[in-house]
A and B are shown apart, each in its own frame.
Chain A
Amino acid sequence: MHIFEGFLPGPWWQIWFAISIPVIMYGMYKLNNIVKEHRELVPLLALAGAFIFVLSSLKMPSVTGSSSHPTGTGMAAILFGPAITAVLGTIVLLYQALFLAHGGLTTLGANVFSMAIAGPVVAYVIYKAGMKANINFYVVVFLAATLANWVTYVVTSFELALAFPAEVGGVMASFKAFALVFATTQVPLAIMEGALTALIFKYVVQVKSDALVELKVIKDSTLRKLKGTMS
């Protein structure tokens, strides 16, 4: 999903910055609140950030003959919501742009939007909907994280398609061309990421379930049920 430096012409790179910056600002405001008023949640915040750090550093091979990244954003989105995830994701993308020549500063707005905003929003919505529908907690986490990863790459295809419409067929035709590269490569990685996120959540439930209740991630009753079935 990293769009390389200079690969988005104007006005597109400015547009994606204009969309991403307000979300990051709001996320920083919310992050500040947590650090100030809920100090006991800071370790969980570090965990979510570290999870993005680890996963987005891995380049995993896919069945299509190319490699791509997990994003790790599903977990943070479920725990803290999309705005705070946007801040955490931006830190990772900035690190990669500055030190790894991976992604870029001009394309940072677009990359933040796809990985740290669009994906997390999808994860958050799916999580909330799934929990409301009373589906098993870990299944919902799996679905949310899997789709967060996958949508990140669909959105990247869309960003590139908007900037490079095909002569024949326009944006839709380019979208298909980019999605063929990104969205298909991503399917096995997305499933893998979903499974890992669900497993990590199992351990969070084991060791720090009170924080999940405090963050209103799961209800007390659901938690008791989860702990009851765990052995």
Chain B
Amino acid sequence: MKGELIFGVIAVLFVASFFYGMAAHPDSEFGGADGQAEDVIADLTGGTYEPWAEDTWFSNLKFEPPGGETESLLFALQAAIGAIVIGYFFGYYRGKGQAS
């Protein structure tokens, strides 16, 4: 139980820090830090840097989600696949442990 308790406390602190962040940045949409790096690059280069891989043969290999909905579907799918495997692992070995 101790482990779960410590994890719970840290999780609560994390959520609290998020609410503090929401209060401290009322206008923020909590966009990705990955995207903010783009702004830093624009700052550093005076806005002259253009990403270069737009029209290359391999850029056609990729699937670009048409919008936020499809993107969130694929992210959710990624999480779901992982969660199934994790749940199966623990379920299988817990059951096996009880059977023996």
Contacts and interface: CB of A to CB of B under 8 A. Distances in A.
Interface of A: 1-7, 9, 43-44, 46-47, 49-59, 61-68, 92, 95-102, 104-106, 138, 153, 156, 160, 164-167, 174, 177-178, 181-182, 185-186, 188, 191-192, 195-196, 198-200, 202-203, 206-208, 231
Given A51-B86, A99-B62, 7 more contacts: A2-B34, A3-B34, A4-B38, A7-B51, A101-B65, A156-B37, A160-B41
A104 B53 contact: yes
Contact of A105 (B45, B62, B92): B62
Contact of A63 (B24, B33, B61): B24
Contacts, number: 183
19 contacts: A4-B51, A6-B51, A7-B37, A55-B82, A57-B75, A63-B20, A64-B21, A99-B62, A100-B71, A105-B59, A138-B3, A160-B41, A164-B41, A177-B40, A181-B40, A195-B10, A203-B90, A206-B94, A207-B94
Given A181-B40, A199-B4, A66 B33 contact: yes
Majority-rule SS of A interface residues? helix
A98 B49 CA distance: 23
B30 A195 contact: no
B44 interface: yes
Scoring B34, B53, B74 by chain A CB atoms within 10 A of each residue's CB, the highest score goes to B34
Interface residues of B, number: 60
B86 A54 contact: yes
A101 B62 contact: yes
A160 B37 CA distance: 9
A61 B23 CA distance: 13
B84 to A, nearest CB: 8
A166 B44 contact: yes
Nearest to A59: B32
Contacts of A196: 7
B97 to A, nearest CB: 6
A46 B37 contact: no
Given A43-B92, A51-B86, A195-B6, A66 B54 contact: no
Nearest to A92: B78
A196 B82 CA distance: 15
For A61, A177, A182, the residue with the greatest tally of chain B CB atoms inside 10 Å of its CB is: A61
B33 A181 contact: yes
Closest A-B pairs by Cβ, 4 of them: A6-B51, A65-B25, A53-B82, A54-B82
